[in-house]
Amino acid sequence: MLKQAFRNLCTNSVLLHGVDISRHGVFVPACGIHSGQPHLAPRSFFGVEDYLDDNNSRPYTYQKGKKSKNPNKHVSFKQRTIAYMEPFTLDVFISKRFVSASLTHRVTCKQVAVAGTNSKDIKAVLKSRSDIPACLAVGQILADRAREADVYTASYTPRERDKFEGKIRAVVQSLIDSGIDIKVYLD
């Protein structure tokens, strides 16, 4: 029954108050204090209207870059050049089950060297994948891979929830002992 009604709606044009609503949009019945006129809304691919950004160039489904509240704000020399002066950053992730660390190029966002206790070659050697000896092993392997990629310096800023102690400090100290110069920025 519903299929037949829908088929009739699609094939036949429906007129309501002299307006062909089958071609223009969706009929939303009015109630309460409204005038009782049909509200026609254009159909969209996603089921909602495709909103456009300020210059109407692309829909909101894309990520927009953050606009500065003060476009005339002075940006210091250090803020402009830090990504080029210290191009590599160290990222350390420690969970209850494994440890992983990587060196990433800031400008191109490419990972230059990666090491983790989930990889097959490290898994077989370690007793536990998340204790301090595992962190030291990850640091040594990452240092070897970084040297192969000609990376000898990097910077490390801990995440807000991380403290620079214990396992994270073991990874960084292992990198320093293996010959990679790590600059640690603490707040």
CATH code for position 130: 3.30.420.80
Check pLDDT > 50 for residue 43: no
In a domain, 7, yes or no: no
Place of tokens 């640091």: 139
In a domain, 126, yes or no: yes
The answer to whether 113 touches 151, Cβ cutoff 8 Å, is: yes
In a domain, 48, yes or no: no
In a domain, 29, yes or no: no
In a domain, 123, yes or no: yes
| Angle in degrees, CA 184, 178, 86, rounded to 5 | 40
In a domain, 171, yes or no: yes
Helix (H, G, I), strand (E, B) or coil at 36: coil
Residue 105 sits in which domain range? 78-184
Count of domains for the chain:
1
Q: For the purposes of burial, counting CB atoms within 10 Å of the CB of 68, is it exposed (0-12), middle (13-18) or buried (19 or more)?
A: exposed
More confident residue, 71 or 121: 121
21: confidence class by pLDDT, cuts 50, 70, 90 = low
In a domain, 134, yes or no: yes
In a domain, 138, yes or no: yes
Amino acid found at 185: Y
Q: Which of 83, 107, 96 is nearest to 157 (CA)?
A: 83
Check pLDDT > 80 for residue 95: yes
